[in-house]
Amino acid sequence: DADVTQTPRNRITKTGKRIMLECSQTKGHDRMYWYRQDPGLGLRLIYYSFDVKDINKGEISDGYSVSRQAQAKFSLSLESAIPNQTALYFCATSEPGTGIGEQFFGPGTRLTVL
Amino acid sequence: DQQVKQNSPSLSVQEGRISILNCDYTNSMFDYFLWYKKYPAEGPTFLISISSIKDKNEDGRFTVFLNKSAKHLSLHIVPSQPGDSAVYFCAAKNQGAQKLVFGQGTRLTINP
């Protein structure tokens, strides 16, 4: 079984709709992250959470919100989707500490906003 | 402000030859550098890392070199195999922020 799972894997929605992307992990990590990948721009951090009570904005948080329901669950919401939010979205987890900071990624959600 | 840059969007290499992927950075506070590999329809997976206090780290066919004075690192794959065809992301960890900053990615294609 995958350690980091994302649902849905693919989603097509219309402009103005609210949509939620979900992430679950069985790695027991406290830290969770949401990224989006766009061609030519790499992976950009949207939000991150270092524990259940800690939520932080990343470099591109406008238009997004998150919820950390439990250590294992971290959801990303688009309150009113717009076409330029069409992208690949990845959830990731990591252990706390001052090591290399390796993050473990889910398989991604491909979101299309029409 | 792109703190981590991969200036080559794509690279094509013949099977058996060496692949060299490059990455430049601007922030001297980065303490670790990581390379991730990504296949289509999958999430990125960790490949190899290097501490800022080292200049080389090797793991099988993969070697990462770090030149701190030039703020440059490179990933060498030798010999290149068809299964190495993927997108490679360079990432750096800020000593204080405990977050990763990713480059734009380089698509590597290994030709038979």
Q: Distance from first CA to last CA of chain B, Å, rounded?
A: 38
Contact call for B102 and A43, based on CB within 8 A: yes
Whole-angstrom distance, CA of residue B95 vs CA of residue A20: 32
**pLDDT higher than threshold 70 for residue A1:** no
Residues in chain B: 112
Q: Looking at residue B94, what is its pLDDT?
A: 81
Q: Which amino acid is it at B64? A: V
A11: confidence class by pLDDT, cuts 50, 70, 90? very high
Q: What are A93-108's pLDDT values in tens digits?
A: 998 776 778 899 999 9
CA A108 to each of CA A8, A71, A91, A104, B8: distance values in angstroms, whole numbers, following the listed order: 9, 19, 7, 12, 24
Residues of B in contact with A107 (CB under 8 A): 41-43
* DSSP β-bridge partners for residue A45: A35
Q: What are B53-110's pLDDT values in tens digits?
A: 999 999 999 999 999 999 999 999 999 999 999 999 999 998 767 789 999 999 999 9
Report CA dihedral (A96, A99, A100, A101) to the nearest 10 degrees.
10
Distance in Å, alpha carbon of A88 to nearest chain B alpha carbon: 10
CA B105 to each of CA A9, A82, A86, B33, B45: distance values in angstroms, whole numbers, following the listed order: 22, 25, 19, 14, 13
Residues of A in contact with B46 (CB under 8 A): 102-104
* DSSP β-bridge partners for residue A47: A34, A57
Instruction: Select the more confidently predicted residue: B97 or A88.
Output: A88
Q: What are B23-60's pLDDT values in tens digits?
A: 999 998 898 999 999 999 999 999 999 999 999 999 99
Q: Looking at residue A98, what is its pLDDT?
A: 65
Q: What are A12-41's pLDDT values in tens digits?
A: 999 999 999 999 999 999 999 999 999 888
Nearest CB among B34, B36, B103 relative to A100 is that of B34
Q: What are A35-67's pLDDT values in tens digits?
A: 999 988 899 999 999 999 999 999 999 999 999
With an 8 Å Cβ cutoff, is B98 touching chain A?
yes
Q: Looking at residue A99, what is its pLDDT?
A: 76
Residues sharing a CB contact under 8 Å with residue B61, sequence separation 6 or more, in sequence order? B77, B78, B79, B81
Residue among A61, A41, A4 at smallest CA distance from B43: A4
Count of pairs with CB atoms under 8 A, one residue in A, one in B: 59
Contact call for A90 and B43, based on CB within 8 A: yes
With an 8 Å Cβ cutoff, is A101 touching chain B?
yes
**Secondary structure E strands in B60-99:** 62-67, 72-77, 86-94
Distance in Å, alpha carbon of A106 to nearest chain B alpha carbon: 5
Q: Which residues of A60-77 are buried (b: 16+ CB within 10 A; e: fewer)?
A: bbeebebebeebbebbbe
